[in-house]
């Protein structure tokens, strides 16, 4: 069995003194520098070039850096200072003075870049076979494709040569290779990760992506690289999601599944069966499957290559393309060269159609929290791709091409193996900026599948599960008219709040029916003298962008303070000014506003 290359595993070894950074990097480089039948790497820096990254960690406490000594790889369209960037075309290559923004964030966190990986030329393709450096072979069987365009980045992680890697994703390049190599693949919300120092494919749609052995590692990397870059014109600060509910619940979530007639597996019965198993697995985790109309997603997907967006690929390398067209692969030259033809009117008409499709797809989020699809419908061989390069590539984009056009975030998750021992994966997706809510669901789904990590043969790491990120919503404990089914509950539901749980306070509160109304309101008052009781409350999750207006509408003598729950946690919640209880009726003995409303007289 291979050494543990998960981030948490490495950090545990470093902290315990079982391994040193130099030992780990030397072992990784020895593996990388062996004969490479899969064509994973394009450029691996020599020991002299890597020494500064190692020297800066000398004498540093491993506990002080979140990625101390963790080796990673970069797709060769992402800049690493002093190492040439080829974008899969040697004639295009240049040597950057500075690393890409996201790479520098990783280095500052203690990570060690081990080199640049193979890709479909100019990130144009989902196969990993359109490269002058050779087709990149699958980690499980080199006769099959790795997926692309972030081909080598995925295979390097799957083989355990590095702990994680960076790719890019415009049409599926950060998800298809994850699905084909038994990995987690994070396609972040567009703009959440900086694209400064990245060779563009479609500048308005590109995003840097993350490959990792498990969801915990992917989450750790995301937290480090998801920093707003004011120098990137397309960067967007993290923000509250605008669609759907206030967060994806841990249980009772609803997930969309394309209608049966809209699923496509291109004759791959193993993949069809494995997807059915994945749906059942997500149900077992507390989800409810809801069939959705996938047609508008599929129409949006077709716009990416059949519409004027291909002109962006031409714009990205226009001067080089016009000067050196012979330097490109035939199929790559044909695709990018097609971008010279669309007219401005075509671009506007496509934007109009895309906006209409966005409106149609937005309706999905009224009924589901996330959507589950296969990551790809089948896994072809390299020979099959070479025989029909355009058709096969198009097939692989069936479940991926719409994602950035519709401004969605996604996580690819390992989900099983075909009879020939090749991987199958699924993808979870949701509206923009729900990245940190998808990852805990992906973590649970990966755990439930019980698969080994990548192609390493190692079992999944025994550690606590990921917990939902709370930055986009605020818990509020309500004890009266804002509870479910009562007159003021609409003030919560209109702000897209959701019920988290029904519980009770700690036994240290007095409860009053206040004069006035309608509607009648209770008052909750903390009592430190020992005369209080536990009072029934509901905890609602309110979107952060609606919390201020909700609080502003609360009339005196009520307000928001800290309410202690029976499990000892404190959450924001309704409290009452003590003076207002002088003319109120104490109902502490009832312990419940509903019980008071149901009581006679």
Residue 164: what are its φ and ψ, rounded to 5°?
Answer: -155, 170
pLDDT for the residue 245: 46
Q: Are strands 522-526 and 509-513 parallel, antiparallel or unpaired?
A: antiparallel
Q: Is the pLDDT of residue 425 over 60?
A: yes
Alpha helices by DSSP H, listed for 171-233, are 176-180, 215-225
Residues 6+ apart with CB under 8 A from 198: 77, 78, 79, 100, 168, 206, 208
- Say which DSSP state 336 is in: H
CB-CB contact of 131 with 39 (8 Å): yes
pLDDT at 528: 86
Selected residue with higher pLDDT from 33 and 244? 33
Which pLDDT band holds residue 470 (cuts at 50, 70, 90)?
A: low
Residue 412's DSSP bridge partners are 185, 427
* Three-class DSSP category at 207: strand
Measured in degrees and rounded to the nearest 5, phi and psi for residue 226 equal: -85, 65
Average pLDDT taken over every residue of the chain: 93
pLDDT higher than 60, residue 243: no
Helix (H) or strand (E) holding 396: helix 389-396
Instruction: Give, in order, the Cα–Cα distances in Å from 227 to each of 7, 102, 106.
Output: 20, 8, 11
Residues 372, 283: Cα–Cα separation, whole Å: 11
CB 147 within 8 A of CB 181: yes
Confidence band for 1, pLDDT divided at 50, 70 and 90: low
Predicted pLDDT at 547 = 87
Nearest by Cα to 158 from 382, 442, 412, 500: 412
Are the CB atoms for 336 and 297 separated by under 8 Å? no
Task: Taking the CA atoms of 55, 59, 60 and 63 in sequence, report the sign of the dihedral they define.
Answer: positive
In whole angstroms, give the CA distance from residue 333 to residue 6: 39
E-state strands within 143-297: 164-169, 184-187, 207-212, 254-258, 288-292
- Phi/psi region, residue 591 (left: phi>0; alpha: psi -120 to 50; beta: rest), is left
Which stretches of 289-388 are DSSP H helices? 295-306, 310-316, 318-323, 330-337, 344-362, 382-387
**What pLDDT does 380 receive?**
97
Q: Tokens in use for 182?
A: 């038994």
Q: Which residue, chain included where needed, has tokens 């059915």?
A: 276
Would you list the DSSP string of 423-457?
EEEEEEEEETT-HHHHHHHHHHHHHHHTPPSTTS-
pLDDT in tens, 543-588: 777 888 999 999 999 999 999 999 888 999 999 999 999 999 999 9
Buried b (16+ CB within 10 A) or exposed e, 194-220: bbbbbbbbbeebbbbbbbbbbbbbbbb
The alpha carbon of residue 508 and the mean position of all alpha carbons in its chain are separated, in whole angstroms, by 41
| Of the candidates 438, 407, 426, 446, the residue with the CA atom closest to the CA atom of residue 257 | 426
Tell me the per-residue pLDDT of 61-70, one tens digit each, with 9 for 90 and over.
Answer: 999 999 999 9
* Confidence (pLDDT) at 543: 79
DSSP one-letter code for 159? T
| Cα–chain center distance at 407 | 13
Q: How many CB atoms lie within 10 A of CB 332?
A: 24
In angstroms, the Cα distances linking 496 to 360, 400, 474 are 19, 28, 12
Q: Is the whole-model pTM more than 0.75? A: yes
The catalytic site residues sit at 75, 149, 173
Bridge-partner residues for 413, per DSSP?
426
What torsion, rounded to 10 degrees, do the Cα atoms 106, 135, 88, 39 define? 50
Q: How do 288-292 and 207-212 pair as beta strands?
A: unpaired
Coil, strand or helix: which one is 398? coil
Asked which of 42-56, 233-247, 518-532 is least confident by mean pLDDT, the reply is 233-247
Encoded tokens for 446: 């990966």
Mean pLDDT of 317-330: 92
Instruction: Count CA atoms within 13 Å of residue 329 on its CB side.
Output: 24
Least confident range from 180-189, 369-378, 473-482: namely: 473-482
DSSP 460: P
Domains and CATH numbers, the chain: 7-449 (3.90.1300.10), 473-598 (3.10.490.10)
* Token representation of residue 128: 């990993």
Mean pLDDT of 509-529: 92
Q: In this structure, is the dihedral angle defined by the CA atoms of residues 262, 313, 114 and 80, taken in order, positive or negative?
A: negative
Residue 506 to residue 517: CA distance in whole angstroms: 28
Cβ(586)–Cβ(511) under 8 Å? yes
- Asked if omega into 585 is within 30° of 0 (cis), the reply is no
The pLDDT of 200-220, averaged and rounded, is 96
Distance from the Cα of residue 24 to its chain's centroid: 28
SS3 of residue 525 by DSSP: strand
**Does 245 or 443 have the greater pLDDT score?**
443
Does the pLDDT at position 244 exceed 70?
no
Tallying the residues shown for the chain, one arrives at 601
Mean pLDDT of 256-285: 98
* Structure-token pair, residue 488: 């003021």
């Amino acid at each position: 069995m291979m050494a543990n290359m998960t981030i948490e595993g490495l950090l545990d070894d470093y902290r315990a003194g079982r391994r040193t950074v130099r030992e780990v990097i030397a072992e990784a480089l020895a593996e990388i520098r062996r004969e490479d039948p899969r064509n994973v790497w394009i450029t691996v820096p020599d020991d002299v070039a890597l020494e500064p990254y190692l020297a800066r960690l000398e004498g540093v406490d491993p506990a002080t850096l979140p990625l101390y000594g963790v080796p990673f790889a970069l797709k060769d369209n992402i800049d690493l200072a002093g190492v040439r960037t080829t974008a899969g075309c040697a004639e295009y290559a240049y040597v950057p003075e500075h690393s890409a923004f996201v790479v520098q964030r990783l280095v500052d966190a203690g990570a060690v870049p081990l080199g640049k990986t193979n890709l479909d030329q100019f990130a144009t393709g989902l196969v990993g076979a359109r490269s002058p450096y050779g087709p990149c072979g699958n980690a499980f069987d080199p006769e099959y494709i790795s997926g692309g365009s972030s081909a080598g980045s995925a295979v390097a992680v799957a083989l355990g040569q590095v702990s994680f890697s960076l790719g890019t994703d415009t049409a599926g390049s950060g998800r298809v290779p994850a699905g084909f190599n038994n990995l987690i693949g994070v396609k972040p919300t567009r703009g959440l990760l900086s694209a400064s120092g990245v060779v563009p494919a479609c500048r308005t749609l590109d995003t840097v992506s993350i490959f990792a052995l498990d969801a915990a590692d992917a989450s750790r990397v995301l937290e480090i690289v998801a920093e707003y870059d004011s120098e990137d014109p397309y960067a967007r600060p993290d923000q509250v999601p605008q669609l759907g509910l206030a967060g994806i619940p841990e249980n009772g979530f609803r997930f969309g599944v394309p209608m049966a007639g809209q699923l496509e597996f291109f004759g791959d019965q193993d993949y069809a069966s494995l997807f059915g198993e994945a749906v059942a697995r997500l149900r077992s985790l507390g989800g409810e499957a809801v069939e959705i109309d996938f047609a508008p997603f599929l129409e949006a997907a077709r716009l990416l290559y059949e519409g004027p967006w291909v002109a962006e690929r031409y714009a990205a390398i226009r001067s080089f393309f016009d000067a050196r067209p012979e330097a490109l692969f035939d199929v790559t030259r044909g695709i990018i060269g097609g971008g010279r033809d669309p007219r401005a009117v075509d671009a506007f008409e496509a934007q109009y159609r895309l906006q209409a499709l966005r409106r149609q797809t937005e309706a999905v989020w009224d009924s589901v929290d996330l959507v589950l699809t296969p990551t790809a419908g089948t896994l072809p061989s390299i020979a099959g791709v070479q025989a029909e390069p355009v058709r096969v590539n198009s097939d692989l984009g069936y479940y991926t091409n719409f994602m950035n056009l519709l401004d969605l975030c996604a996580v690819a998750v390992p989900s099983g193996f075909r009879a020939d021992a090749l991987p199958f994966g699924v993808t979870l997706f949701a509206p923009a900026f729900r990245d940190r809510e998808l990852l805990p669901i992906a973590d649970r789904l990966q755990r439930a599948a019980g698969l080994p990590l990548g192609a390493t043969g190692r079992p999944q790491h025994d550690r606590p599960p990921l917990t939902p990120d709370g930055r986009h919503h605020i818990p509020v404990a309500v004890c009266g008219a804002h509870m479910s089914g009562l007159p003021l509950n609409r003030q919560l539901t209109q702000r897209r709040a959701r019920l988290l749980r029904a519980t009770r306070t700690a036994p240290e509160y007095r409860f009053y029916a206040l004069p006035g109304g309608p509607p009648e309101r209770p008052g909750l008052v903390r009592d430190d003298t020992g005369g209080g009781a536990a009072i029934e409350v509901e905890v609602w999750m309110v979107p952060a962008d609606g919390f201020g207006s909700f609080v502003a509408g609360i009339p005196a003598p009520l307000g928001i303070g800290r309410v202690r729950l029976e499990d000892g946690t404190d959450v924001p919640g309704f409290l009452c000014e003590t003076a207002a209880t002088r003319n109120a009726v104490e109902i502490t003995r009832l312990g419940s506003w509903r019980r008071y409303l149901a009581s006679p007289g």
